[in-house]
């Protein structure tokens, strides 16, 4: 009754497991900007795909190796002397969608300002692979610091290649993790990037991101208090069913599990709960954004409709809600719960490296973002069912001695020291839109940290919603946020108001 392995790859905390003997990087609650499901990159309109010879290691002068980093360029709107807009790639392979789609916010702004567009793929994602051997020493080349240095080198390379005039203004853009990179690019390299737009950017790293589930709960309850209370009751009743053999048999039927509950070990049970929660997290994170069917079908309204049925029990309502999520994802098979977290590695078993593996490494070694449910602040609603240990042990068992419980916490602390976190973000001339329905907004800059960064808090909107095409059905708060974004860009780029 849950998202299948294929669907989970598109979704979201990060765990690595072997499901049905196949390694998967299943990232629950992953911060990720979306593209249309059936986007055909082979039918690019004006974009040109290219590769840039970038350094494998920017911080080791003895390493002279380079790799081909993929990018897309679109000069459709460019006017000589105009600004350059750079979409910083995030935790997935890129394509021509961002440079070709005319109605995206940054494309609209590019037309207004006569801007050149570039989209740069993140190292270790998609086709931009710096190394072939994913050994421990090479995995350490996958970091936000290296990605930022890639972007700086790319900007300098494009300035030289196209002989852009001195004083050309580069404005970085990004959403979700790539939004954080956009903000950090301006913060760390202000002499290279003139300004930045960082949509839904999680700028604070945290090991136990329990507040994600707190926002999901609050968003459902804000829509309708009964929706939240009915789900809370349903989860409580499911927990009670797990305590008896007869109840466990009911769980198999209710959620369409392939195996009997008695076959599950502790890791399997934790995974079951993560899958169950994910049905709600995915909808809330993207509810209402104007792409695919998130504006009309995959919405909090439609999810809560199942929990507002007064003629059905909470258990019947959660069963129907999860079944509905599975149906809209095109899944009709039973749900297999089989977790073997002994991959020591991702890189050592001859299997190809995936985007999910790359993101899992980054969460274990830089960001955390693990969404446990055992904190006092949320366990009354979600239940004390998945601890933070589940995630940290996933890191340890997947990457061996490279990641231990202490290194995970120390790495997250280092990330916040390096960039300042949201509370001490030092970037200037940065626009920071955040949808308040989006669970990731709690890690973003919600109050200006200096006189030259501009948080835009957008009521009633979700993850990266400001980046997508405008619509007559947009809430007034979103229309106003886009207007403010335009005003700031006008000021930066010296256009008449």
CATH code of the domain containing 122: 3.40.50.1820
Residue 33 placed within a domain: no
- Between the two ends of the chain, the Cα-to-Cα distance in Å is 52
Residue 497 has pLDDT above 70, yes or no: no
Residue 414 placed within a domain: no
Answer yes or no: do 180 and 131 share one domain: yes
Residue 259 placed within a domain: yes
Residue 172 placed within a domain: yes
Residue 76 DSSP SS3: coil
Answer yes or no: do 155 and 282 share one domain: no
Beta 66-74 vs 116-120: how paired, if at all? antiparallel
- Can you give the pLDDT at residue 24? 27
What are the angstrom distances between the C-alpha of 307 and each of 21, 38, 215, 301? 35, 31, 18, 10
Answer yes or no: do 57 and 132 share one domain: yes
C-alpha–C-alpha distance, residues 255 and 273, integer Å? 11
Judge whether 32 counts as a catalytic residue: no
C-alpha–C-alpha distance, residues 146 and 90, integer Å? 13
Partners of residue 56 on adjacent β-strands: none
- 98 sits in the region (left: phi over 0; alpha: psi -120 to 50; else beta) called alpha
364 secondary structure, DSSP code: I
Place of tokens 């050994």: 135
Which residue is catalytic, options 176, 214, 287, 347?
176
Residue 415 placed within a domain: no
- Can you give the pLDDT at residue 124? 96
Among residues 387, 409, 431, the one where a domain terminates is: 409
Residue 36 DSSP SS3: coil
C-alpha–C-alpha distance, residues 480 and 473, integer Å? 13
Domain holding 454, by residue range, is 41-199+420-492
Place of tokens 């039918």: 43
What are the angstrom distances between the C-alpha of 47 and each of 74, 118, 150, 174, 397? 5, 9, 21, 18, 42
**DSSP notation for 90-109:** -SS---SHHHH-TTSHHHHH
CA angle at 225 for the pair 221 and 227, rounded to the nearest 5°: 75
Supply φ then ψ for residue 257, to 5 degrees: -75, 145
CA angle at 28 for the pair 291 and 277, rounded to the nearest 5°: 95
Supply φ then ψ for residue 177, to 5 degrees: -60, -40
Residue-wise pLDDT tens digits, 53-110: 999 999 999 999 999 999 999 999 999 999 999 999 999 999 999 999 999 999 999 9
C-alpha–C-alpha distance, residues 203 and 81, integer Å? 32
Answer yes or no: do 426 and 468 share one domain: yes
Residue 342 placed within a domain: yes
- Can you give the pLDDT at residue 137? 86
Answer yes or no: do 333 and 425 share one domain: no
Supply φ then ψ for residue 409, to 5 degrees: -65, -40
Beta 66-74 vs 48-55: how paired, if at all? antiparallel
Q: What stretches of 369-425 show up as alpha helix (H) in DSSP?
A: 379-382, 388-399, 405-419
Judge whether 463 counts as a catalytic residue: yes
Answer yes or no: do 186 and 114 share one domain: yes
Average pLDDT, the chain: 89
- Can you give the pLDDT at residue 57? 98
Confidence label for 494 from pLDDT (cuts 50, 70 and 90): confident
Which residue is catalytic, options 32, 113, 122, 463?
463
Q: Who has greater pLDDT, 237 or 35?
A: 237
Residue 32 placed within a domain: no
Calculate mean pLDDT across residues 189-197.
98
The token duo for 349 is 């078993």
Max CA pair span of the chain: 74
- Can you give the pLDDT at residue 25? 31
Answer yes or no: do 381 and 358 share one domain: yes
Confidence label for 337 from pLDDT (cuts 50, 70 and 90): confident
- Do 24 and 18 form a contact (C-beta atoms < 8 A)? yes
Instruction: Give the alpha-carbon dihedral of 414, 417, 422, 423, to 10 degrees.
Output: 140
C-alpha–C-alpha distance, residues 335 and 283, integer Å? 19
Residue 432 DSSP SS3: strand
Residue 223 has pLDDT above 80, yes or no: yes
C-alpha–C-alpha distance, residues 55 and 148, integer Å? 12
* Structural domain count of the chain: 2
Nearest-10 crossing angle of helices 388-399, 405-419: 100
Confidence label for 45 from pLDDT (cuts 50, 70 and 90): confident
Residue-wise pLDDT tens digits, 239-267: 999 999 999 999 999 999 999 999 999 99
- Can you give the pLDDT at residue 395? 94
Sign of CA dihedral 374, 304, 434, 360: positive
Residue-wise pLDDT tens digits, 354-368: 899 999 999 999 999
Q: What percent of the chain has pLDDT over 70?
A: 88
Instruction: Give the alpha-carbon dihedral of 422, 425, 427, 428, to 10 degrees.
Output: 90
CATH code at 392? 1.20.120.980
Answer yes or no: do 230 and 182 share one domain: no
Among residues 409, 431, 446, the one where a domain terminates is: 409
What are the angstrom distances between the C-alpha of 84 and each of 3, 73, 145, 429, 479? 39, 10, 22, 16, 24
Residue 347 has pLDDT above 60, yes or no: no
Judge whether 438 counts as a catalytic residue: yes
Q: What stretches of 54-165 show up as alpha helix (H) in DSSP?
A: 97-100, 105-113, 136-139, 144-162
Residue 430 placed within a domain: yes
Among residues 356, 388, 409, the one where a domain terminates is: 409
C-alpha–C-alpha distance, residues 297 and 278, integer Å? 17
- Do 248 and 254 form a contact (C-beta atoms < 8 A)? no
Residue-wise pLDDT tens digits, 387-434: 999 999 999 988 988 999 999 999 999 999 999 999 999 999 999 999
Residue 401 class from Cβ within 10 Å (0-12 exposed, 13-18 middle, 19+ buried)?
A: exposed
Answer yes or no: do 167 and 286 share one domain: no
The token duo for 436 is 């308040």
Answer yes or no: do 89 and 189 share one domain: yes
Q: Who has greater pLDDT, 160 or 343?
A: 160
Answer yes or no: do 195 and 212 share one domain: no
Confidence label for 43 from pLDDT (cuts 50, 70 and 90): low
Answer yes or no: do 158 and 213 share one domain: no
- Can you give the pLDDT at residue 294? 94
Over its C-alpha atoms, the chain yields an Rg (Å, rounded) of 22
- Can you give the pLDDT at residue 451? 97
Residue-wise pLDDT tens digits, 199-217: 999 999 999 999 999 999 9
Residue 366 DSSP SS3: helix
Residues in the chain: 497
Residue 431 class from Cβ within 10 Å (0-12 exposed, 13-18 middle, 19+ buried)?
A: buried
């Amino acid at each position: 009754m849950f998202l299948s392995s294929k669907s989970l790859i598109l979704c979201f905390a990060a765990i690595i497991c072997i499901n049905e003997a196949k390694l998967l990087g299943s990232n629950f609650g992953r911060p990720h900007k979306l593209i249309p499901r059936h986007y055909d990159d082979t039918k690019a309109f004006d974009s040109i795909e290219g590769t840039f010879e970038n350094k494998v290691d920017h911080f080791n002068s003895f390493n002279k190796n380079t790799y081909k980093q993929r990018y897309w360029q679109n000069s459709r709107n460019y006017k000589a002397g105009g600004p350059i807009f750079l979409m910083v790639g995030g935790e997935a392979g890129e394509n021509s969608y961002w440079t070709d789609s005319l109605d995206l916010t940054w494309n609209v702004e590019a037309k207004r300002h006569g801007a050149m567009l570039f989209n740069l793929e993140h190292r270790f994602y998609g086709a931009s692979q710096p190394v072939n051997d994913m050994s421990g020493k090479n995995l350490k080349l996958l970091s936000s610091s290296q990605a930022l240095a890639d972007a700086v080198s790319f900007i300098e390379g494009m300035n030289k290649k196209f002989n852009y005039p001195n004083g050309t203004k580069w404005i970085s853009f990004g959403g979700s993790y790539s939004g954080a990179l956009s903000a950090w690019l301006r913060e760390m390299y202000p002499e290279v990037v003139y300004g930045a737009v960082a949509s839904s950017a999680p700028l604070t790293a945290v090991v136990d991101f329990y507040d994600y589930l707190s926002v999901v709960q609050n968003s459902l309850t804000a829509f309708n208090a009964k929706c939240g209370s009915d789900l809370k009751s349903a989860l409580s009743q499911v927990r009670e069913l797990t305590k008896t053999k007869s109840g466990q048999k009911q769980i198999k039927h209710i959620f369409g599990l392939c195996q009997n509950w008695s076959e599950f070990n502790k890791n399997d049970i934790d995974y079951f709960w993560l899958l169950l929660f994910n049905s709600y997290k995915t909808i809330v994170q993207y509810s209402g954004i104007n792409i695919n069917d998130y504006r009309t079908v995959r919405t909090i309204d439609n999810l809560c409709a199942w929990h507002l049925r007064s003629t059905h029990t909470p258990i019947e309502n959660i069963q129907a809600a999860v079944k509905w999520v599975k149906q809209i994802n095109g899944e009709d098979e039973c749900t297999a719960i089989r977790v073997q977290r002994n991959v020591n590695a991702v890189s050592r078993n001859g299997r190809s490296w995936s985007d999910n593996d790359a993101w899992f490494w980054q969460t274990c070694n830089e960001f955390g973002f693990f969404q446990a449910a055992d904190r006092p602040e949320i366990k009354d609603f979600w239940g004390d069912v998945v601890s933070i240990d589940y995630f940290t042990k996933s890191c340890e068992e997947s990457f061996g001695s490279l990641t231990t419980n202490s290194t995970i916490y120390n790495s997250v602390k280092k990330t916040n020291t390096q960039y300042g976190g949201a509370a001490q973000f030092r970037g200037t001339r940065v626009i920071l839109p955040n949808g308040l329905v989006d669970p990731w907004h709690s890690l973003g800059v919600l109050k200006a940290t200096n006189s030259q960064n501009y948080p835009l808090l957008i009521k009633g909107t979700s993850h990266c919603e400001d980046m997508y095409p405008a619509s007559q059905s947009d809430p007034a708060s979103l229309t106003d946020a886009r207007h403010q974004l335009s005003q700031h860009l006008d000021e930066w780029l010296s256009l008449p108001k």
